[in-house]
Amino acid sequence: MFTDFLIALTMLTNFTLVATSRVNKAIQLAVFQGILLGLIPIAMGLGKHLHILLVAAAAIAVKGWLIPFLLRRAVTQAHIYREVDPYVGYTVSLLLCAAGTGLSLMLAHSLPLKPGSTPTFLVPAALATLFTGFLLLVSRRKALTQVVGYLVLENGIYLFGLLLVEDMPVLVETGILLDLFVGVFVMGIVINHIHVAFDSTDTSYLAELKD
């Protein structure tokens, strides 16, 4: 029951993410979602495995502190606090998120999973979170908000990883977290160069970089 509650909160966070225009708020929501994901395997009763506890602790540390710390520094340096003019408006984004969540609930029933092996809403939550991350990536102009979308996309991958977490070596989950950290680090460098070159973090300016 508590596991389903955490998964439901994760899905509700997706809706709040696509509806907010404030970059700091989006980062806070991504932090909250990352902490929820770190708690889900423990709530599933998998805390008896040491490597799963390590993965959960690493997820909370990386998603809940390290990456948000880097993003907040980028926000302060770039002085970008709002996503003013996204490619897709917030109302439409909210409707698309709802449609994606509904589609995820339907699609989850068609996947060939072992009966009773996972909480009821884990698969649709993973699919919905993947869709939300992709939506943020393609519908927002600011590079910082797109990085948040990348984080949410990885959260969906992490949720899928929980399907096989008892059989999956800790090295695989650690690799996912390392890829996430490197991705955010590289995006931080890109954000800095965009801001220096154009005095903005609007990625649409990258179209001007032609030979």
Q: What is the pLDDT of residues 92-112, one digit of tens each?
A: 999 999 999 999 988 887 777
- Cα–Cα distances (Å) from 94 to 17, 24, 31, 102, 133, in that order, read 9, 19, 20, 12, 13
| pLDDT given at position 205 | 56
User: Residue 133: which residues within 8 A CB-CB, separation 6 or more?
Assistant: 149, 150, 151, 152, 153, 154, 155, 156
| pLDDT given at position 131 | 94
Tell me the HSE value of 199 on the side-chain side, using a 13 A CA sphere.
0
User: Residue 195: which residues within 8 A CB-CB, separation 6 or more?
Assistant: 77, 78, 201
**Most distant pair of Cα atoms in the chain: their distance:** 57
| pLDDT given at position 211 | 44
Region of poorest pLDDT, from 9-18, 94-103, 133-142: 133-142
Please give the tally of structural domains in the chain.
1
Domain holding 11, by residue range, is 2-208
pTM, full prediction: 0.80
